[in-house]
Structure 1
């Protein structure tokens, strides 16, 4: 299995004057990551909502309509960038209509240089996403194969549900990508600590990306972000004791890059001090589950 050099962004919310400035800024981050040897770059949840800062303040349903009408442009842009810079791009998440119906979803898109696209709709919606937007939750977890191994995408709130990461791990995922948007310290640390917990209990890598900074004018959908992007590992040999491979500088608009060594992950699973992924007792859990709900 090949090692993976991965870039993850702390994307800065700043005042922009045009859509061109937005796309140019994205391009610069992709180019920089590619030139530094990254094979994947991860952008945060709601990254295209930055475009709302160019418009008058909208209601949530108006914002959904505005963003959905840029879906074709969004897809074509990132397909072109992925091919041009020979880098896989998790292009954050984008609000668009679901394929099956007319409801809006918060969907992550992962673009590959050969034109392939993997997607994942957010499966657990926050109260704001359910009530104020409102959005529809996804209904299927996509665990997909890559040249580096199996991966899954758990968007922000999704990482707070251990069942999802466990299912992904049981289906062979060794890396979880977590694009997020948190606008407070409470939200950030919920997501951050859950990323690290999922890495520990499933003995895999978790990559976190987020929005940082703020806009000068309030936008009810996205106006400020608090995050510290990072790549996390199990808290066991051969990794660092704190389970941190790399993290960014809190609040800075920046990209951090790390090499993910899957051979070390296999070593951890085979010879680690503990083996929480293998020492599970499914029969015991099912027995206690039946007791609880009988």
Structure 2
């Protein structure tokens, strides 16, 4: 397996005045990541909801329809950026129509330079997404091959469910991408600590990205974010004791650059002080 240099973003919610300004800002971040030698850049959950700030405030269903109308442009833009820059792009998540015409999904898209696109609909919807948003939950876990090894995408709340990450790891995933949107310290640390727990339990890498900053005018869907993006590892040799490979500055609009070495992950699985991925005893975990 190769080493993988990842750029994971703390994407700043700032006032923008046009859709062109939004796309130009994304293009700049992708260009920066590619010029730094990154093979993959990771953007956060609900990133395209930033576009809502250029329109009058909407109800959630209106917002879903507005974002869905930009799905073709979203796919076309990121495919072109990935191919032109030669970089894989997890383009955050985007609200788009589901199988049924009246349903919407919160879906992550991962674009590869060769034109391939992997997707993952959010499996666990938060109470707000279930009650206020007209969203439906995803019903399948996509574990996909890359040149660096198998990966999976667990969006924000999904990382809080150990069974989902374990299912990905059992199917061979050694890296989980976690695009997130948390608007408070409470939400952020739930996701952050669960990212680290999933890395420890499954002896894998977990990459976290999130929204930061705030808009000057309230939008009921996305108006402020709290995050410290980073890449997390098992808390065991050969990694650092705190399991933090790299992390950004809290709430700064920035990109975190980090290289993950799969040889170190293999060393951890073979010679670590503990082996929670291998020492599990599932026969004792059955619910009575």
Name the TM-score, length of structure 1 as normaliser.
0.97
The answer for the alignment partner of 2:158 in structure 1 is 158
The answer for the alignment partner of 1:201 in structure 2 is 201
- Alpha-carbon distance in 2 for matches of 1:60, 1:167: 32
The answer for the alignment partner of 1:284 in structure 2 is 284
Q: How does 1:150-229 map to 2 (within 5 A)?
A: 150-229=150-229
- Alpha-carbon distance in 2 for matches of 1:110, 1:267: 28
- Alpha-carbon distance in 2 for matches of 1:181, 1:137: 17
The answer for the alignment partner of 1:37 in structure 2 is 37
Deviations 1:59-87 (A, max 9, x none): 00000000000000000000000000000
The answer for the alignment partner of 1:67 in structure 2 is 67
* Structure 1 residue matching 2:206: 3-state secondary structure: strand
Q: Which runs of 4+ in 1 moved over 6 A?
A: none
- The answer to which of 93-102 and 131-140 deviates more is 93-102
How far the C-alpha of 1:282 sits from its partner, in A, is 1.2
Deviations 1:20-69 (A, max 9, x none): 11000000000000000100000000000000000000000000000000
How far the C-alpha of 1:283 sits from its partner, in A, is 1.3
- Alpha-carbon distance in 1 for matches of 2:48, 2:120: 16
- Alpha-carbon distance in 1 for matches of 2:71, 2:195: 29
* Structure 1 residue matching 2:145: 3-state secondary structure: strand
Structure 2 portions without partners, runs of 5+: none
The answer for the alignment partner of 2:120 in structure 1 is 120
How far the C-alpha of 1:134 sits from its partner, in A, is 2.1
How far the C-alpha of 1:102 sits from its partner, in A, is 3.5
Deviations 1:260-286 (A, max 9, x none): 000000000000000000001011223
Aligned residues: 288
1:58 aligns with 2:93: no
- Alpha-carbon distance in 1 for matches of 2:84, 2:230: 26
The answer for the alignment partner of 2:97 in structure 1 is 97
Deviations 1:133-173 (A, max 9, x none): 12100000000000000000000000000000000000000
- Alpha-carbon distance in 1 for matches of 2:253, 2:285: 43
Structure 1 portions without partners, runs of 5+: none
- Alpha-carbon distance in 1 for matches of 2:247, 2:284: 37
Deviations 1:211-258 (A, max 9, x none): 000000000000000000000000000000000000000010000010
* Structure 2 residue matching 1:21: 3-state secondary structure: helix
The answer for the alignment partner of 2:257 in structure 1 is 257
Q: What is the RMSD of the two structures over their aligned residues, measured on CA atoms?
A: 0.7
- Alpha-carbon distance in 2 for matches of 1:201, 1:127: 26
How far the C-alpha of 1:99 sits from its partner, in A, is 3.5
The answer for the alignment partner of 1:2 in structure 2 is 2
